[in-house]
Structure 1
Protein backbone atom coordinates (compact mmCIF):
# COMPACT_ATOMS: atom_id res chain seq x y z
CA UNK A 1 0.00 0.00 0.00
CA UNK A 2 1.35 3.40 -0.96
CA UNK A 3 2.23 5.77 1.87
CA UNK A 4 -0.09 8.78 2.24
CA UNK A 5 1.29 11.95 0.68
CA UNK A 6 3.13 14.40 2.87
CA UNK A 7 0.81 17.06 4.28
CA UNK A 8 1.10 20.68 3.25
CA UNK A 9 3.45 22.35 5.73
CA UNK A 10 2.31 24.71 8.48
CA UNK A 11 4.31 27.15 10.58
CA UNK A 12 6.26 25.50 13.44
CA UNK A 13 4.01 27.13 16.06
CA UNK A 14 0.96 25.41 14.57
CA UNK A 15 2.37 21.89 14.34
CA UNK A 16 1.11 20.83 17.79
CA UNK A 17 -2.41 21.61 16.56
CA UNK A 18 -2.25 20.26 13.02
CA UNK A 19 1.02 18.55 12.21
CA UNK A 20 0.26 19.72 8.69
CA UNK A 21 -2.64 20.31 6.31
CA UNK A 22 -3.76 16.91 5.08
CA UNK A 23 -4.27 16.71 1.35
CA UNK A 24 -7.82 15.92 0.32
CA UNK A 25 -9.21 17.31 3.58
CA UNK A 26 -11.10 20.49 4.43
CA UNK A 27 -10.16 22.68 7.40
CA UNK A 28 -12.63 25.23 8.76
CA UNK A 29 -11.09 28.29 10.43
CA UNK A 30 -12.56 31.36 12.09
CA UNK A 31 -13.36 33.85 9.36
CA UNK A 32 -12.18 36.85 11.39
CA UNK A 33 -8.56 37.37 12.39
CA UNK A 34 -5.36 36.24 10.72
CA UNK A 35 -5.34 32.52 11.57
CA UNK A 36 -6.29 31.42 8.02
CA UNK A 37 -3.57 33.67 6.63
CA UNK A 38 -1.03 32.09 8.99
CA UNK A 39 -1.83 28.72 7.37
CA UNK A 40 -1.13 30.23 3.96
CA UNK A 41 2.15 31.68 5.25
CA UNK A 42 3.37 28.30 6.45
CA UNK A 43 2.51 26.56 3.20
CA UNK A 44 4.13 29.08 0.87
CA UNK A 45 7.20 29.53 3.08
CA UNK A 46 7.78 25.79 2.61
CA UNK A 47 7.47 26.14 -1.17
CA UNK A 48 3.84 25.15 -1.78
CA UNK A 49 1.92 26.86 -4.57
CA UNK A 50 -1.30 28.23 -3.10
CA UNK A 51 -4.35 30.33 -3.89
CA UNK A 52 -6.52 32.88 -2.08
CA UNK A 53 -10.13 33.24 -3.18
CA UNK A 54 -12.48 35.91 -1.87
CA UNK A 55 -10.01 37.90 0.23
CA UNK A 56 -9.57 41.65 -0.05
CA UNK A 57 -6.29 43.40 -0.80
CA UNK A 58 -5.92 43.93 2.95
CA UNK A 59 -6.01 40.17 3.50
CA UNK A 60 -3.29 39.64 0.91
CA UNK A 61 -1.05 42.24 2.55
CA UNK A 62 -1.69 40.74 6.00
CA UNK A 63 -0.63 37.34 4.67
CA UNK A 64 2.62 38.85 3.42
CA UNK A 65 3.22 40.42 6.85
CA UNK A 66 2.94 36.96 8.42
CA UNK A 67 5.61 35.60 6.08
CA UNK A 68 3.62 34.34 3.08
CA UNK A 69 5.56 34.19 -0.18
CA UNK A 70 3.11 36.01 -2.46
CA UNK A 71 5.18 34.93 -5.45
CA UNK A 72 3.66 31.49 -4.87
CA UNK A 73 0.07 32.68 -4.44
CA UNK A 74 -2.67 32.99 -7.04
CA UNK A 75 -5.09 35.71 -5.85
CA UNK A 76 -8.73 35.88 -6.97
CA UNK A 77 -9.98 38.78 -4.90
CA UNK A 78 -13.59 38.86 -6.08
CA UNK A 79 -14.78 35.72 -7.90
CA UNK A 80 -18.42 36.86 -7.75
CA UNK A 81 -21.11 34.26 -8.27
CA UNK A 82 -18.59 31.90 -9.89
CA UNK A 83 -16.53 31.39 -6.73
CA UNK A 84 -17.15 27.61 -6.52
CA UNK A 85 -16.09 27.13 -10.15
CA UNK A 86 -12.95 29.18 -9.49
CA UNK A 87 -12.14 27.07 -6.42
CA UNK A 88 -12.69 23.87 -8.39
CA UNK A 89 -10.20 24.94 -11.08
CA UNK A 90 -7.60 25.99 -8.50
CA UNK A 91 -7.86 22.67 -6.67
CA UNK A 92 -6.52 21.00 -9.81
CA UNK A 93 -3.56 23.42 -10.01
CA UNK A 94 -2.14 24.27 -6.56
CA UNK A 95 -1.42 22.49 -3.28
CA UNK A 96 -3.46 24.73 -0.98
CA UNK A 97 -6.62 26.72 -1.65
CA UNK A 98 -7.69 29.24 0.98
CA UNK A 99 -11.24 30.41 0.37
CA UNK A 100 -13.60 32.90 1.99
CA UNK A 101 -16.99 31.95 0.51
CA UNK A 102 -19.92 34.39 0.35
CA UNK A 103 -22.04 32.02 2.49
CA UNK A 104 -21.52 28.84 4.56
CA UNK A 105 -20.68 25.88 2.32
CA UNK A 106 -22.59 22.67 2.90
CA UNK A 107 -24.12 19.61 1.36
CA UNK A 108 -23.34 18.44 -2.13
CA UNK A 109 -21.06 21.36 -3.03
CA UNK A 110 -18.83 20.83 0.01
CA UNK A 111 -18.50 17.11 -0.76
CA UNK A 112 -17.79 17.76 -4.44
CA UNK A 113 -14.98 20.21 -3.74
CA UNK A 114 -13.39 18.00 -1.07
CA UNK A 115 -13.50 15.05 -3.49
CA UNK A 116 -11.76 17.21 -6.08
CA UNK A 117 -9.11 18.19 -3.54
CA UNK A 118 -8.57 14.51 -2.69
CA UNK A 119 -8.25 13.55 -6.33
CA UNK A 120 -5.62 16.21 -6.96
CA UNK A 121 -3.70 16.06 -3.67
CA UNK A 122 -4.68 19.56 -2.54
CA UNK A 123 -5.59 20.91 0.89
CA UNK A 124 -8.62 23.15 1.33
CA UNK A 125 -8.93 25.81 4.05
CA UNK A 126 -12.19 27.69 4.50
CA UNK A 127 -12.36 30.96 6.43
CA UNK A 128 -15.87 30.33 7.75
CA UNK A 129 -18.21 27.36 8.08
CA UNK A 130 -17.73 24.25 5.94
CA UNK A 131 -20.05 21.30 6.39
CA UNK A 132 -18.14 18.09 7.03
CA UNK A 133 -14.78 19.76 7.66
CA UNK A 134 -12.34 17.17 9.02
CA UNK A 135 -10.65 19.78 11.24
CA UNK A 136 -11.88 22.99 12.82
CA UNK A 137 -9.67 25.72 14.26
CA UNK A 138 -11.18 28.29 16.62
CA UNK A 139 -9.68 31.25 18.50
CA UNK A 140 -11.14 30.71 21.97
CA UNK A 141 -9.61 33.79 23.62
CA UNK A 142 -7.45 36.71 22.63
CA UNK A 143 -5.09 38.99 24.54
CA UNK A 144 -3.86 42.20 22.95
CA UNK A 145 -0.58 43.35 24.47
CA UNK A 146 0.53 46.97 24.71
CA UNK A 147 2.30 49.42 26.99
CA UNK A 148 0.65 51.28 29.86
CA UNK A 149 -1.81 48.61 30.93
CA UNK A 150 -2.83 47.74 27.39
CA UNK A 151 -3.30 51.34 26.23
CA UNK A 152 -1.35 53.05 23.45
CA UNK A 153 0.23 51.18 20.55
CA UNK A 154 -0.68 47.48 20.60
CA UNK A 155 2.46 45.37 20.24
CA UNK A 156 1.04 41.93 19.59
CA UNK A 157 -1.80 39.51 20.07
CA UNK A 158 -1.70 36.31 22.10
CA UNK A 159 -4.45 33.83 21.30
CA UNK A 160 -5.55 30.41 22.49
CA UNK A 161 -6.38 28.33 19.44
CA UNK A 162 -8.50 25.19 19.83
CA UNK A 163 -8.51 22.38 17.28
CA UNK A 164 -11.13 19.67 16.96
CA UNK A 165 -12.24 17.34 14.21
CA UNK A 166 -13.37 13.95 13.06
CA UNK A 167 -11.61 10.61 12.73
CA UNK A 168 -7.88 10.84 13.44
CA UNK A 169 -8.27 14.54 14.25
CA UNK A 170 -11.07 14.09 16.79
CA UNK A 171 -8.99 14.58 19.95
CA UNK A 172 -9.43 18.23 21.07
CA UNK A 173 -6.19 20.14 21.56
CA UNK A 174 -5.21 23.76 22.11
CA UNK A 175 -2.18 26.03 22.08
CA UNK A 176 -1.33 29.59 23.02
CA UNK A 177 0.24 31.51 20.14
CA UNK A 178 1.52 34.93 19.24
CA UNK A 179 -0.73 35.80 16.27
CA UNK A 180 1.05 38.02 15.47
CA UNK A 181 3.84 38.73 17.93
CA UNK A 182 5.59 42.07 18.50
CA UNK A 183 7.90 41.28 15.57
CA UNK A 184 4.97 40.42 13.28
CA UNK A 185 5.63 36.68 13.23
CA UNK A 186 3.65 33.69 14.51
CA UNK A 187 5.20 31.78 17.40
CA UNK A 188 4.34 29.91 20.58
CA UNK A 189 3.34 31.96 23.65
CA UNK A 190 4.14 31.08 27.23
CA UNK A 191 0.91 30.38 29.15
CA UNK A 192 2.18 31.41 32.59
CA UNK A 193 3.36 34.75 31.24
CA UNK A 194 -0.01 35.32 29.62
CA UNK A 195 -1.96 34.66 32.80
CA UNK A 196 0.25 36.89 34.96
CA UNK A 197 0.98 39.78 32.59
CA UNK A 198 -0.81 42.99 33.74
CA UNK A 199 -0.56 44.89 30.46
CA UNK A 200 -3.04 42.89 28.42
CA UNK A 201 -6.61 43.24 27.20
CA UNK A 202 -8.64 40.04 27.22
CA UNK A 203 -11.00 39.82 24.24
CA UNK A 204 -12.85 36.60 23.45
CA UNK A 205 -12.93 35.39 19.85
Structure 2
Protein backbone atom coordinates (compact mmCIF):
# COMPACT_ATOMS: atom_id res chain seq x y z
CA UNK A 1 0.00 0.00 0.00
CA UNK A 2 3.12 2.23 0.14
CA UNK A 3 2.10 5.73 -1.03
CA UNK A 4 -1.37 5.57 0.42
CA UNK A 5 -0.14 4.20 3.75
CA UNK A 6 2.22 7.15 4.23
CA UNK A 7 -0.61 9.57 3.38
CA UNK A 8 -2.88 7.86 5.90
CA UNK A 9 -0.23 8.06 8.62
CA UNK A 10 0.28 11.77 7.94
CA UNK A 11 -3.47 12.37 8.09
CA UNK A 12 -3.75 10.44 11.32
CA UNK A 13 -1.13 12.74 12.83
CA UNK A 14 -2.69 15.86 11.27
CA UNK A 15 -6.19 15.18 12.53
CA UNK A 16 -4.98 14.00 15.96
CA UNK A 17 -6.61 10.61 15.81
CA UNK A 18 -5.42 8.76 18.87
CA UNK A 19 -7.51 5.77 19.84
CA UNK A 20 -6.78 2.38 18.23
CA UNK A 21 -10.39 2.21 17.05
CA UNK A 22 -10.09 5.60 15.34
CA UNK A 23 -6.78 4.64 13.73
CA UNK A 24 -8.24 1.39 12.40
CA UNK A 25 -11.37 3.11 11.14
CA UNK A 26 -9.37 5.80 9.35
CA UNK A 27 -6.82 3.37 7.94
CA UNK A 28 -9.50 1.05 6.56
CA UNK A 29 -11.15 3.93 4.76
CA UNK A 30 -8.11 5.63 3.20
CA UNK A 31 -7.98 8.31 5.85
CA UNK A 32 -11.70 8.98 6.09
CA UNK A 33 -14.00 8.00 8.92
CA UNK A 34 -17.05 5.90 8.12
CA UNK A 35 -19.24 8.97 8.57
CA UNK A 36 -17.10 11.06 6.20
CA UNK A 37 -17.07 8.31 3.62
CA UNK A 38 -20.85 7.92 3.78
CA UNK A 39 -21.27 11.69 3.47
CA UNK A 40 -19.09 11.73 0.34
CA UNK A 41 -21.15 8.95 -1.20
CA UNK A 42 -24.43 10.75 -0.42
CA UNK A 43 -23.21 14.08 -1.78
CA UNK A 44 -21.88 12.43 -4.92
CA UNK A 45 -25.33 10.96 -5.63
CA UNK A 46 -26.60 14.53 -6.13
CA UNK A 47 -23.82 15.33 -8.59
CA UNK A 48 -23.57 12.04 -10.47
CA UNK A 49 -27.05 12.18 -11.95
CA UNK A 50 -25.69 14.07 -14.97
CA UNK A 51 -21.91 13.71 -15.11
CA UNK A 52 -21.58 15.33 -18.52
CA UNK A 53 -23.39 18.56 -17.64
CA UNK A 54 -21.98 18.76 -14.13
CA UNK A 55 -18.48 18.25 -15.52
CA UNK A 56 -18.97 21.08 -18.01
CA UNK A 57 -20.41 23.30 -15.26
CA UNK A 58 -17.44 22.55 -13.02
CA UNK A 59 -14.85 23.30 -15.71
CA UNK A 60 -16.61 26.56 -16.50
CA UNK A 61 -16.18 27.52 -12.84
CA UNK A 62 -12.56 26.35 -12.86
CA UNK A 63 -11.67 28.34 -15.97
CA UNK A 64 -13.49 31.41 -14.65
CA UNK A 65 -11.64 31.26 -11.31
CA UNK A 66 -8.31 30.13 -12.76
CA UNK A 67 -8.16 31.05 -16.45
CA UNK A 68 -4.50 29.95 -16.53
CA UNK A 69 -5.76 26.33 -16.48
CA UNK A 70 -6.97 26.75 -20.05
CA UNK A 71 -3.28 26.62 -21.03
CA UNK A 72 -3.29 22.89 -20.25
CA UNK A 73 -5.77 22.45 -23.13
CA UNK A 74 -3.76 23.66 -26.15
CA UNK A 75 -6.72 23.37 -28.51
CA UNK A 76 -8.74 25.87 -26.46
CA UNK A 77 -6.21 28.64 -25.81
CA UNK A 78 -7.60 31.99 -26.86
CA UNK A 79 -11.21 30.76 -26.96
CA UNK A 80 -14.03 32.05 -24.82
CA UNK A 81 -15.87 29.64 -22.53
CA UNK A 82 -18.93 29.67 -24.76
CA UNK A 83 -16.80 28.54 -27.70
CA UNK A 84 -15.16 25.52 -26.18
CA UNK A 85 -18.32 24.53 -24.32
CA UNK A 86 -19.52 23.36 -27.73
CA UNK A 87 -16.35 21.39 -28.52
CA UNK A 88 -16.79 17.62 -28.23
CA UNK A 89 -13.21 17.21 -26.98
CA UNK A 90 -13.86 19.60 -24.06
CA UNK A 91 -17.20 18.00 -23.21
CA UNK A 92 -15.62 14.53 -23.31
CA UNK A 93 -12.81 15.62 -20.98
CA UNK A 94 -15.21 17.22 -18.51
CA UNK A 95 -17.34 14.07 -18.52
CA UNK A 96 -14.29 11.81 -18.10
CA UNK A 97 -13.03 13.80 -15.11
CA UNK A 98 -16.40 13.38 -13.42
CA UNK A 99 -16.40 9.66 -14.28
CA UNK A 100 -12.99 9.49 -12.59
CA UNK A 101 -14.44 11.22 -9.53
CA UNK A 102 -17.19 8.58 -9.54
CA UNK A 103 -14.50 5.92 -9.60
CA UNK A 104 -12.76 7.65 -6.68
CA UNK A 105 -16.01 7.50 -4.68
CA UNK A 106 -16.61 3.86 -5.64
CA UNK A 107 -13.09 2.84 -4.58
CA UNK A 108 -13.13 4.37 -1.10
CA UNK A 109 -13.08 0.83 0.36
CA UNK A 110 -10.32 -0.34 -1.99
CA UNK A 111 -7.23 1.67 -1.02
CA UNK A 112 -4.74 -0.25 -3.17
CA UNK A 113 -6.85 0.19 -6.30
CA UNK A 114 -7.55 3.81 -5.47
CA UNK A 115 -3.86 4.54 -4.95
CA UNK A 116 -3.02 3.06 -8.37
CA UNK A 117 -5.73 5.12 -10.07
CA UNK A 118 -4.52 8.34 -8.45
CA UNK A 119 -0.83 7.61 -9.06
CA UNK A 120 -1.65 7.01 -12.74
CA UNK A 121 -3.56 10.29 -12.85
CA UNK A 122 -0.47 12.07 -11.53
CA UNK A 123 1.85 10.35 -14.01
CA UNK A 124 -0.44 11.02 -16.96
CA UNK A 125 -0.91 14.68 -16.09
CA UNK A 126 2.81 15.20 -15.52
CA UNK A 127 3.45 13.88 -19.03
CA UNK A 128 1.24 16.60 -20.52
CA UNK A 129 2.67 19.38 -18.36
CA UNK A 130 -0.02 19.77 -15.71
CA UNK A 131 1.58 20.70 -12.35
CA UNK A 132 0.28 19.79 -8.89
CA UNK A 133 -0.89 23.38 -8.35
CA UNK A 134 -3.62 22.74 -10.95
CA UNK A 135 -4.97 19.94 -8.74
CA UNK A 136 -5.00 22.27 -5.72
CA UNK A 137 -6.95 24.80 -7.78
CA UNK A 138 -9.26 21.96 -8.82
CA UNK A 139 -9.95 21.19 -5.14
CA UNK A 140 -10.66 24.84 -4.29
CA UNK A 141 -13.12 25.21 -7.15
CA UNK A 142 -14.67 21.79 -6.52
CA UNK A 143 -15.56 22.95 -3.01
CA UNK A 144 -17.24 26.05 -4.48
CA UNK A 145 -18.93 23.92 -7.12
CA UNK A 146 -20.43 21.59 -4.50
CA UNK A 147 -21.54 24.56 -2.39
CA UNK A 148 -23.31 26.18 -5.35
CA UNK A 149 -24.81 22.90 -6.56
CA UNK A 150 -26.06 21.69 -3.18
CA UNK A 151 -26.83 24.89 -1.28
CA UNK A 152 -27.89 24.09 2.30
CA UNK A 153 -27.31 20.38 1.65
CA UNK A 154 -23.58 21.13 1.55
CA UNK A 155 -23.29 20.86 5.31
CA UNK A 156 -20.17 21.50 7.38
CA UNK A 157 -19.67 17.72 7.55
CA UNK A 158 -19.96 17.44 3.76
CA UNK A 159 -17.45 20.25 3.27
CA UNK A 160 -15.04 18.71 5.79
CA UNK A 161 -15.39 15.25 4.23
CA UNK A 162 -14.81 16.39 0.66
CA UNK A 163 -11.96 18.70 1.67
CA UNK A 164 -10.24 15.81 3.42
CA UNK A 165 -10.88 13.44 0.50
CA UNK A 166 -9.51 15.92 -2.04
CA UNK A 167 -6.46 16.47 0.15
CA UNK A 168 -5.81 12.72 0.18
CA UNK A 169 -6.42 12.55 -3.55
CA UNK A 170 -4.02 15.42 -4.27
CA UNK A 171 -1.31 13.96 -2.06
CA UNK A 172 -1.35 10.66 -3.95
CA UNK A 173 -1.56 12.45 -7.33
CA UNK A 174 1.47 14.54 -6.27
CA UNK A 175 3.33 11.29 -5.55
CA UNK A 176 2.42 10.11 -9.05
CA UNK A 177 3.74 13.35 -10.56
CA UNK A 178 6.97 13.09 -8.58
CA UNK A 179 7.38 9.41 -9.48
CA UNK A 180 6.97 10.25 -13.16
CA UNK A 181 9.54 13.06 -12.90
CA UNK A 182 11.99 10.57 -11.38
CA UNK A 183 11.21 7.95 -14.06
CA UNK A 184 11.72 10.54 -16.81
CA UNK A 185 15.07 11.63 -15.35
CA UNK A 186 16.24 8.01 -15.14
CA UNK A 187 15.40 7.48 -18.82
CA UNK A 188 17.57 10.42 -19.89
Larger fraction in strand: 1
**Superposition TM-score, scaled by structure 1 size:** 0.23
Larger fraction in helix: 2
